[in-house]
Chain A
Amino acid sequence: GSLRGQDPGPQPLELKEVFRLFQMQYNRSYPNPAEHARRLDIFAQNLANAQRLQEEDLGTAEFGVTQFSDLTEEEFVQLYGNRVAGEALGVSRKVGSEEWGHS
């Protein structure tokens, strides 16, 4: 049973209910209605991302609502990611020095 053609995904009311449950489970509150609406949009986008991951995963993993579901990818990486090792080490640059004229 794939979701494709069978389950259209959360509908608006359903989505709000799922979001409300998420807020309860992870003790999330937002300072004003505008922020609440913005986080709801992000939450919906994240559910879509999770669904895409689920469809493309070749293993047995399950993706869905987590404690990070109200964060954008950028916020998530900023808050919970790390420096990208390859960039910091310079390993993505060409090895060798132009001054020496050979690699």
Chain B
Amino acid sequence: VPSTCDWRKAGAISPVRNQQHCNCCWAIAAAGNIEALWAIKFGRSVEAWAHTLSLLAPELIDCDRCGNGCKGGFVWDAFLTVLNNSGLASEKDYPFDGSGKTHRCLAEKHKKVAWIQDFITLQAFEQSAGRMGTRAGTVAPDSASLPLQHYQKGVIQATPTTCDPVQVNHCVLLVGFGKTKSVEGRQGKAASFGSYSRPRHSMAYWTLQNSWGTHWGEKGYFRLHRGSNTCGITRFPVTARVDKPNKRQQVSCPP
């Protein structure tokens, strides 16, 4: 496992989206996970596929098994929707309006541009996600959302009082991990609070893509301390599995 990993540098991560008035972080995280896996597995950047791939959420939201995807949902439900619909249509065919309203599921009407074989929940996340993240791509974990309301930048290492690791109520996309330099700072703050004594040692962190637009956080991303289950990031880490089609001829049982 390398000490750092950033799938954005490989062009595997689709742009930061804005869920607007729709509680669909779960669908955006799932779509981002699938897009990244396709980009990684098939060796093309998401940008290069923008016209054909750029999956998103609308199909997942409308075709959610509860039919009410803007009222919240779960990443595993998104993956089940993809499996049940035998794939996902492109965002071009199935646009996202952010209005918060769901529509009739139109999945059958559109050509499928991506699909998955399976999805899995990672065990021992903080140990395995690095390995998974490096080899297989991104992961879509849950996180508690409250400190994020006021987050501007830097690595969050919250305590259970400020960020309950049990009440995870937001889905995001893990795109990489790394370590801060020993003096990453809190200097030059304009609209945040004072310059507290900061850790002099380097800090390991996860890099996560949020779905609140690029004006939030670090251009739409945030970082959580790695190794302390900050904000419950280890609770429900899920990833789709995308593999190249097996070209071997299938063997069936002889009569």
Residues of B within 8 A of A33 (CB): none
A6 to B146, alpha carbons, bound, how many Å?
Answer: 28
- Chain B interface mostly: loop
Indicate if A54 sits at the interface (CB-CB under 8 A): yes
Of B25, B154, B159, B235, which contacts A82 at CB under 8 A? Answer: B25
Binary interface profile of B, 3-25, with partner A (CB < 8 Å = 1, else 0)? 00000000000000001010101
Indicate if A57 sits at the interface (CB-CB under 8 A): yes
A71 to B19, alpha carbons, bound, how many Å?
Answer: 17
Q: Chain A contact residues (Cβ within 8 angstroms of B): what range?
A: 35 or more
Residues of A within 8 A of B161 (CB): 56
Residues of A within 8 A of B162 (CB): 52-53, 56-57
Residues of B within 8 A of A7 (CB): 194
Residues of B within 8 A of A86 (CB): 166-168, 235
Contact A55 B152 (CB under 8 A): no
Contact A50 B145 (CB under 8 A): no
A86 to B184, alpha carbons, bound, how many Å?
Answer: 35
Contact B72 A82 (CB under 8 A): yes
Min CB distance B119 to A, Å, is 15
Of A46, A60, A85, which contacts B142 at CB under 8 A? Answer: A85
A68 to B142, alpha carbons, bound, how many Å?
Answer: 20
A18 to B213, alpha carbons, bound, how many Å?
Answer: 22
Of A2, A62, A85, A88, which contacts B192 at CB under 8 A? Answer: A62
Q: Chain B contact residues (Cβ within 8 angstroms of A): what range?
A: 35 or more
A68 to B73, alpha carbons, bound, how many Å?
Answer: 22
Of B21, B168, B196, B212, which contacts A85 at CB under 8 A? Answer: B168
A59-B199, A67-B216 as given contacts; A85 in contact with B235, CB under 8 Å: yes
Chain B residue with the shortest CB-CB distance to A1: B195
Chain A residue with the shortest CB-CB distance to B198: A60
A52 to B163, alpha carbons, bound, how many Å?
Answer: 12
Contact A79 B150 (CB under 8 A): no
Binary interface profile of A, 67-100, with partner B (CB < 8 Å = 1, else 0)? 1110101001101111111101000000000000
Contact B203 A63 (CB under 8 A): no
A59-B203, A60-B203, A63-B192 as given contacts; A82 in contact with B147, CB under 8 Å: no
List which A1-56 residues lie within 8 A (CB) of chain B: 1-3, 6-7, 18, 46, 49-56
Of B149, B194, B223, which contacts A76 at CB under 8 A? Answer: B149
Residues of A within 8 A of B171 (CB): 82
Residues of A within 8 A of B197 (CB): 2
Chain A residue with the shortest CB-CB distance to B215: A67
